[in-house]
Amino acid sequence: MKREEFLNEKIPMVEIFNSISGEGITSGFLTTFVRVYGCNLRCSYCDTKYSYDGEYSLMAPIEILGEVNRLNCKRVIVTGGEPLEEEKIKRYIPLYLAQNGYEVRIETNGSVRLYDEDEIYQFTSKKERKNLFYTLDIKCPSSNMDKFNIFEENFKRLILGDEIKFVVGNVDDLDYSIDVVKRYKEYFKGVTLNFSPVFSKIEPSQIVDYLKIINKFFAENNLDVRLNLQLHKIIWDKDKRGV
């Protein structure tokens, strides 16, 4: 889609707010969250069902940018729902915000294509990805959505500053995650690998103990691996919105 077409559209939006980033390599930083409406998956542990089965408002791109400007954070996370659903106007919000000078991170569920060079060029007239990073989920079996994962096609588009997130609910999920890492390790150099426990389903200490056992593999392959806790669920009630 060309930028001029995008600017004339209206986009279903759930909320735009400031808080701290609760997860991943940006954890703890003040951030503006831009939450779009709609998702193509139905994960068993989803904690934002209101983003696909709740109220939304239609906003023009310039209105979204205006609200982000008002909140005055240089870091933006575009989340959902699923921001990169194909053939949806919302797919271009991250490119639009990055083009306007924000450092944008896209939280995407791993079942949709990441941008290719042609798509970026069509919107921005530049082929390189600038001010734009991915937090790419890999769905594990306990999500009941693992059959929708896109692996190599997306992995080859990752660069320094991107991250992978495995949300794990049990040891089987950990086994699955490590199998993916071993099969595609050549794509993960410079990419942070986050292991995040499903809230109340597995103890963080179990994940740490598991990762310690295979630390030699991570070291030998120069892989950056970390435990990822949802900081916002520690600070506030786990079901509280807009934080």
Positions at the binding site for [4Fe-4S] cluster: 39, 43, 46
Residues comprising the binding site for Mg(2+)?
48
DSSP classification of residue 113 = P
Residue 134, class by beta-carbon neighbours within 10 Å (0-12 exposed, 13-18 middle, 19+ buried)? buried
- Known binding residues for S-adenosyl-L-methionine are 45-47, 81
Give me the DSSP letters along 115-130. PPHHHHHHHHS-SS--
The first and second tokens of residue 229, run together, are 């806790």
Question: Considering only CA atoms, which of 75, 134, 144, 69 is closest in space to residue 108?
Answer: 134
Contact criterion met (CB below 8 Å) for 117 and 38? no
Cα–Cα distance measured from residue 82 to residue 107, given in angstroms and rounded to the nearest whole number? 8
Give the residue from 126, 131, 70 showing the smallest Cα distance to 100: 131
User: Which residues fall in the annotated binding site for substrate?
Assistant: 20-22, 35, 79
Binding site feature residues: 20-22, 35, 39, 43, 45-48, 79, 81
